[in-house]
Structure 1
């Protein structure tokens, strides 16, 4: 346990990682401020000293994880012309599906957290829309290189892929992930073929 008044390096990330472990181990119902700080090895009041409450914490955690995921997807257009198109799309899909569905679901079931996440996304915080935009930009770059047919609707494909990922993330149990990856790979092949 960290002594009171001692600065904790990377506190936000430490609390975020602790919350994810709590949810993964005991489920979303077990996520409390006390459970998070105990898991992180911090004083009980640390979370409330840095966040207005558990709802703000949960919203910030979800936004942070989506920002990391969107940044990874944002690199996708720079890969145009290299490797296999379907492999690049499958990699982005895997990154999205690594988000903890319990944690994302927790934000949805906490109205104040869900409202905060929605407002942040509407204001431009990276989320599903940023991932969708990256996929569309990537497909257009591949079209320009002649690696996918010019007739493909890049925006519709991006929407179909990201919409499917959203559905699988919110409804699929974590233990079904190998089957989920196979479903996504079949979808990608159906949408863009096999290049």
Structure 2
């Protein structure tokens, strides 16, 4: 005879552990991570507070898993990024990476901002990351592959180019989080084109 399901899981195919992660992920997406407590997650999940510790080593593990799930959900919602050698120019592809990156960081950085004072969560999040999965890793991989395909210059400074693009994506969101009213306007299509042009063509005479 199979064990009885917890009341919170009746009608669901999720395990209790997955249900708790999904609940925490939804709370992060809706309200961010600031002030998110075990009690809040447990009550929202329909379980007793102590149940969480039967499935996770601590609160930090649960939040890290929920944050990783949130990041993946946001990424899936933004669609596919162009791969190396795909139809279209490198310029067009990089424009897609910039637009994606700004939208991605706008969706996920507020959650990370609420965890600045919780380094254990951020360390746990980094520990469960999959190499090559995150947007910046994919940007690096794309640029390196285009160099190998000959569509970028041999010896192109891929790390510097990726850092420049990532920096703009971070700045577009962090300025709003940190300075609010003084934040710059949303990057325009013209600005995105200028950024890609600067990465590819430089600013020298």
TM-score, length of structure 2 as denominator length:
0.63
Conserved 8 A contact 1:77-1:137? no
The CA deviation at 1:28 is 0.9
Q: Note the residue ranges of structure 1 that are not aligned, 5 or more in a row.
A: none
Pick the structure with greater CA Rg. 2
Q: Which residue of 1 aligns with 2:165?
A: 161
Among 94, 104, 125, the residue aligned to 1:96: 104
In structure 2, the partner of 1:20 is 29
Q: Secondary structure at the match of 2:7?
A: coil
Q: What RMSD in Å do the two structures reach over aligned CA positions?
A: 4.1
Q: Structure 2 unaligned runs (5+)?
A: 1-5
- Which of 50, 53, 57 is 2:62 aligned to? 57
Aligned to 2:3: none
Q: TM-score, normalised by structure 1?
A: 0.65
- Distance, in Å, in 1 between the alignment partners of 2:130 and 2:76 is 8
Q: Deviations over 1:38-95 (max 9, x none)?
A: 4x4522335444323322222222333445667899x646253324223322243135
Say if 1:116 and 1:141 are closer, same or farther in 2 by CA, change over 3 A.
closer
1:75-154 matches, cutoff 5 A = 76=81, 78=83, 80-83=85-88, 84-118=92-126, 120=127, 125-126=129-130, 130-143=134-147, 148=152, 152-154=156-158
Q: Kindly indicate whether the alpha-carbon contact (under 8 Å) linking 2:105 and 2:173 is maintained by their aligned counterparts in 1.
A: yes
Moved more, 179-188 or 102-111: 179-188
Higher relative contact order (CA 8 A, sep 6+): 1
Contact 1:77/1:141 (<8 A) preserved:
no
